[in-house]
């Protein structure tokens, strides 16, 4: 029997399966108790554990998933997926939690990379957002342990969202050693290398990824240094704006000077045979002696904005 239409916790109605992987299955669902229409659509993740639900190690792992999902709800960062609820049904035999999260329209970084690597500035922008979510998680004692393209969502308006909190452990035992914040940074290095191309292009981003992937030692950067390096990559590789044309000090950008004579945009200056250089033609519009020379007819200065988190 399929799970479509199943009601969880008396409020979350499963609609369609959105994706499935080694760590579990994600469903698109409706929160039937939501007050605002914008809050009705949610994602529900069902973790997956190997082994026998009757074994003690399995039950310990299921309880740990529940604790970690509840703790991950404290992570407050724009790039960290918002966890709304954790539901454990008493009638369930396996004891696994259903993790209710915000629904993020878009696609995963894994899906994007199937079409090819992204440009270094975009890889650095994504890395900055993921690092911000990781630092927020580490600040409240949460270690992600599953930083990979499948758990990075690229939403609307350039939003980057790290998901997958509380679902990294697939084995029934306790967390293995080496899975602290340093391991998250190493996984970030692997994410950067994969996003920009493996091997990554020469330059500061490739060098940073290699340093993150290096073994423990003085050459491995900490989170603060990684933040500064990624910000530098985004800033240095951002296209420079076109040079603005010269203008008088009192002319505002994007505004035609009020010192130009009245003339239609397609009207050209007088070039009759009687118009001698340096001599005002009797067909030329009246102009005060101290006015500036005419600019190109009908031309306005373009204003460019930089890219976008």
Which pair of tokens denotes residue 80?
Answer: 């960290």
**Predicted local confidence at residue 171, as pLDDT:** 33
The per-residue pLDDT for 268 is 47
What CA–CA distance (Å, rounded) separates 119 from 205? 11
Which of these, 111, 230, 106, lies nearest to 157 by C-alpha position?
106
Run of H or E including 186: helix 181-196
Q: What confidence score (pLDDT) does residue 85 get?
A: 94
- Which pLDDT score is estimated for 127? 98
Q: Which pLDDT value is given to residue 309? A: 34
Q: Residue 280, Cα to own-chain centre: how many angstroms?
A: 59
CA distance 252 to 291: 17
How many Cα atoms sit within 13 Å of 308 on the Cβ side?
A: 12
What does the alpha-carbon distance between residue 110 and residue 120 come to, in Å, rounded to a whole number?
Answer: 16
Residue that the structure tokens 């600040």 belong to: 139
| Burial class, 116, CB count within 10 angstroms (exposed 0-12 / middle 13-18 / buried 19+) | exposed
> Across the 309 residues of the chain, what is the mean pLDDT of every consecutive 10-residue run?
86 94 90 90 91 87 88 94 90 79 95 94 96 95 91 95 70 48 94 88 88 86 95 74 49 46 46 46 47 44 35
Convert 22-51 to b/e letters by CB count within 10 Å (16 or more is b).
Answer: ebbebbebbbeeeeeeeeeebbbbbbbbee
């Amino acid at each position: 029997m399929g799970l479509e239409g199943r009601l969880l916790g008396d409020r979350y109605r499963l609609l369609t399966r959105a994706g499935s992987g080694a760590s579990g299955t994600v469903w698109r669902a409706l929160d039937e108790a939501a007050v605002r229409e914008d809050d009705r659509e949610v994602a529900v993740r069902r973790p997956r554990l190997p082994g026998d639900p009757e074994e003690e190690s399995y039950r310990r792992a299921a309880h740990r998933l529940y604790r970690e999902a509840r703790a991950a709800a404290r992570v407050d960062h724009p790039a960290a997926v918002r966890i709304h609820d954790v539901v454990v049904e008493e009638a369930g035999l396996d004891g696994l939690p259903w993790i209710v999260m915000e629904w993020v329209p878009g696609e995963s970084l894994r899906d994007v990379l199937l079409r090819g690597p992204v440009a270094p500035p975009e890889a650095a922008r994504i890395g900055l957002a993921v690092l911000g979510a990781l630092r927020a998680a580490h600040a409240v004692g949460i270690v992600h342990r599953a930083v990979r393209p499948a758990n990075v969502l690229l939403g609307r308006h350039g939003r980057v969202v790290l998901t997958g909190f509380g679902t990294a452990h697939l084995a029934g035992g306790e967390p293995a050693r080496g899975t602290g914040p340093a391991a998250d940074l190493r996984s970030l290095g692997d994410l950067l290398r994969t996003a920009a191309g493996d091997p990554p292009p020469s330059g500061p981003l490739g060098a940073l990824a290699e340093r993150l992937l290096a073994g423990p030692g003085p050459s491995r950067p900490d989170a603060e240094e990684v933040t500064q390096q990624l910000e530098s990559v985004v800033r240095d590789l951002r296209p420079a704006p076109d040079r603005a044309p010269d203008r008088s000090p009192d002319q505002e950008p994007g505004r035609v000077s009020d010192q130009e004579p009245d003339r239609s945009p397609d009207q050209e200056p007088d070039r009759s045979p009687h118009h001698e250089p340096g001599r005002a033609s009797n067909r030329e519009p009246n102009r005060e002696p101290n006015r500036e020379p005419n600019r190109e007819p009908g031309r306005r200065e373009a204003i460019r904005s930089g890219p976008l988190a």
